[in-house]
Amino acid sequence: MEVEKRLTTLIEQSLELETIELDLFRSKSLWKPTGARGVFGGQIIAQSLAAATKTVESNYKIHSLHSYFLLAGDSTTPIVYKVYKIRDGKSFCTRSVSAKQKGKTIFIMSCSFQTDENSVLEHQNVMPDVPPPENVKTDKEIFKQWLDNSEEHKIPKTYQDYLQIRIQEILPIEFKPIKESVPRDLIKPSKSNPKQYVWLRAQGRLPDDLAFHHCVAAYASDHFLLGTAQLPHVRLSMMATLDHMIWFHKPFRADEWLLFEMESTRSNSGRGLTFGRMFTRDGTLVLSCAQEGVMRAKTMTRKNKTESKL
pLDDT one-digit tens code per residue, 175-211: 999 975 444 555 566 678 899 999 999 999 999 999 9
Mean pLDDT, the chain, whole residue set: 89
Verify whether residue 8 is a known catalytic residue: no
Domain containing 295: what range? 10-115+137-308
219 contacts 11 by C-beta, under 8 angstroms? yes
Lowest mean pLDDT among 19-33, 183-197, 267-281: 183-197
Confidence class of residue 112 from pLDDT cuts 50, 70 and 90? very high
Active site residue: 53, 230, 241, 274, which one? 241
Is 28 among the domain residues?
yes
Q: Which of 222, 215, 225, 290 is nearest to 252 (CA)?
A: 215
Is 98 among the domain residues?
yes
What is the phi/psi pair of residue 152, to 5°?
A: -65, -40
Is 1 among the domain residues?
no
pLDDT of residue 299: 56
pLDDT, tens digit (0-9, with 9 covering 90-100), for 3-22 = 444 558 999 999 999 999 99
pLDDT of residue 185: 55
Confidence class of residue 245 from pLDDT cuts 50, 70 and 90? very high
241 contacts 201 by C-beta, under 8 angstroms? no
Active site residue: 101, 222, 274, 280, which one? 222
Is 128 among the domain residues?
no
pLDDT of residue 153: 66
Q: What is the pTM of this model?
A: 0.89
Is 91 among the domain residues?
yes
279 contacts 286 by C-beta, under 8 angstroms? yes
Is 171 among the domain residues?
yes
The better pLDDT of the pair 78, 160 is held by: 78
CATH number at residue 281: 2.40.160.210
Verify whether residue 241 is a known catalytic residue: yes
- Note the helical H segments in 72-154: 139-148, 150-153
Is 301 among the domain residues?
yes
Q: What is the arithmetic mean of pLDDT over 48-68?
A: 97
The better pLDDT of the pair 289, 236 is held by: 289
DSSP state of 54: T
CA distance 132 to 204: 20
pLDDT of residue 146: 80
Domain count, the chain: 1
Is 126 among the domain residues?
no
Confidence class of residue 239 from pLDDT cuts 50, 70 and 90? confident
